[in-house]
């Protein structure tokens, strides 16, 4: 697939230790770039930024990003694809452009929660060189609009967890939103391009990697700014059903311990499951209900969607 490459002036002479890999599609990552660049004076070229526009096809946005990248003090590259490759293939492509000994996968809708975010990662790599490390994410800077309340409730309860809690089941709490991977580890285990659409490719990758390498968890979080409405989340759950089925087929022993799998198995026996799914989604969309009740209904809906895959 054809790709256009744009480097800034700082890129050519840099010898980075960490390559920050930022894929995006129809998002504008300029806010994240400016925030990361505030750390440039203390990093001395040890961290580079590599962005992948995975088929947005927005000439105006591309021009804006090229202008922004030219002003950055951090070494930076923009790769612009003419057509979408998908989450797994796109991230694999990013690593081929990286020069660092470690990759930091960072989603474009993340915002570091500390002004020493990159410095913390660099210190970890320099001192310990972990095979895999996840920094965690939060909702500290995320929008508080009522339309995102259900997503806030879901993420706050199941994903925004301290390192001590994530470390109990380390492979389960691995997301490409804030994930450090050593170069040799990724060379041994890359993302499975058989995943398409939304979800599970990072968790499945962690299941494979955890069999060969240690997965550590630290508290160096970033905020997930891209919260979704209930309608958008339900659509993503629908898109993720095939990926969930793939994970179940590849790692049945691990997945069978997950509450989402157990709930899906239980709901599979429910009479008139398609009707039940519609009622669950309707409840999640009903703004008159308490947020916790709507979040519970949406979790049930996700399990009911996944029931077809178990």
**Assigned token pair, 134:** 């996840």
Q: State whether 177 and 248 are in the same domain.
A: no
- Per-residue model confidence (pLDDT) at position 52: 93
pLDDT digits (tens, 9 = 90+) for 24-74: 888 899 999 999 999 999 999 999 999 998 888 888 999 999 999 999 999
* CA pair distance 83, 79, nearest whole angstrom: 12
Q: State whether 84 and 174 are in the same domain.
A: yes
Of the candidates 205, 227, 249, which is a domain's last residue? 227
* CA pair distance 182, 201, nearest whole angstrom: 18
- Per-residue model confidence (pLDDT) at position 86: 77
Q: State whether 187 and 250 are in the same domain.
A: no
Query: If pLDDT is split at 50, 70 and 90, which confidence band does 192 have?
Result: confident
* CA pair distance 60, 78, nearest whole angstrom: 14
Cβ neighbours, 10 Å, residue 172 = 16
**Averaged over 114-129, what is the pLDDT?**
97
**% the chain with pLDDT above 70:** 100
Of the candidates 166, 192, 227, which is a domain's last residue? 227
Q: State whether 140 and 23 are in the same domain.
A: yes
State how far the alpha carbon of 185 is from the alpha carbons of 39, 96, 181, in Å. Answer: 27, 14, 7
Collapsing DSSP states into helix, strand and coil, what is residue 193? coil
Q: State whether 61 and 199 are in the same domain.
A: yes
pLDDT digits (tens, 9 = 90+) for 127-158: 999 999 999 999 999 999 999 999 999 998 88
> Is 0.95 topped by the overall pTM?
no
Q: Is the pLDDT of residue 85 over 70?
A: yes
Domains contained in the chain, number? 2
CATH (domain of 81): 3.90.550.10
pLDDT digits (tens, 9 = 90+) for 283-306: 999 999 999 999 999 999 999 999
Of the candidates 195, 227, 259, which is a domain's last residue? 227
Closest by CA to 24, choosing from 111, 100, 84, 102, is 84
Query: If pLDDT is split at 50, 70 and 90, which confidence band does 198 have?
Result: confident
- Per-residue model confidence (pLDDT) at position 94: 92
Q: State whether 141 and 184 are in the same domain.
A: yes
Q: Is the pLDDT of residue 164 over 90?
A: yes
**Averaged over 83-100, what is the pLDDT?**
87
- Per-residue model confidence (pLDDT) at position 1: 58
Q: State whether 91 and 208 are in the same domain.
A: yes
Q: State whether 45 and 123 are in the same domain.
A: yes
Q: State whether 204 and 273 are in the same domain.
A: no
Domain that holds residue 263: 234-309
Q: State whether 127 and 175 are in the same domain.
A: yes
Q: State whether 173 and 68 are in the same domain.
A: yes
Cα angle 217, 218, 222 (rounded to 5 degrees) comes to 110
- Per-residue model confidence (pLDDT) at position 172: 84
């Amino acid at each position: 697939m054809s790709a256009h490459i744009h480097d800034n002036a700082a890129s050519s002479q840099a010898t980075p230790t960490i390559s920050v890999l930022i894929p995006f599609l129809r998002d504008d990552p300029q806010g994240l770039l400016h925030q990361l660049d505030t750390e440039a004076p203390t990093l001395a070229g040890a961290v580079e930024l590599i962005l992948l526009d995975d088929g947005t096809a927005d000439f105006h946005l591309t021009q804006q990003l090229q202008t922004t990248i030219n002003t950055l003090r951090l070494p930076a590259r923009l790769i612009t694809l003419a057509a979408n490759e998908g989450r797994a293939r796109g991230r694999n492509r990013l690593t081929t452009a990286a020069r660092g000994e470690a990759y930091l996968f960072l989603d474009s809708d993340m915002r570091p929660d500390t002004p020493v975010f990159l410095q913390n990662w660099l210190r970890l790599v320099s001192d310990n060189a972990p095979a895999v490390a996840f920094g965690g994410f939060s909702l500290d800077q995320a929008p508080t609009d009522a339309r995102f309340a259900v997503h806030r409730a879901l993420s706050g309860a199941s994903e925004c967890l301290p390192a001590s809690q994530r470390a109990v089941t380390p492979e389960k709490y691995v997301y490409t939103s804030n994930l450090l991977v050593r170069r040799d580890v990724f060379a041994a285990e890359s993302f499975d391009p058989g995943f398409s659409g939304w979800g599970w490719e990072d968790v499945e990758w962690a299941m494979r990697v955890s069999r060969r390498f240690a997965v550590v968890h630290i508290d160096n979080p970033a905020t997930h700014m891209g919260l979704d409405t209930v309608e958008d989340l339900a659509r993503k759950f629908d898109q993720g059903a095939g990926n969930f089925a793939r994970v179940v087929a590849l790692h049945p022993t691990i997945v069978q311990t997950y509450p989402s799998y157990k709930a899906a198995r239980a709901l599979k026996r429910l009479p008139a499951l398609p009707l039940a799914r519609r009622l669950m989604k309707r409840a999640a969309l009903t703004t008159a209900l308490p947020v916790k009740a709507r979040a519970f209904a949406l979790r049930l809906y996700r399990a009911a969607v996944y029931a077809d895959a178990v």
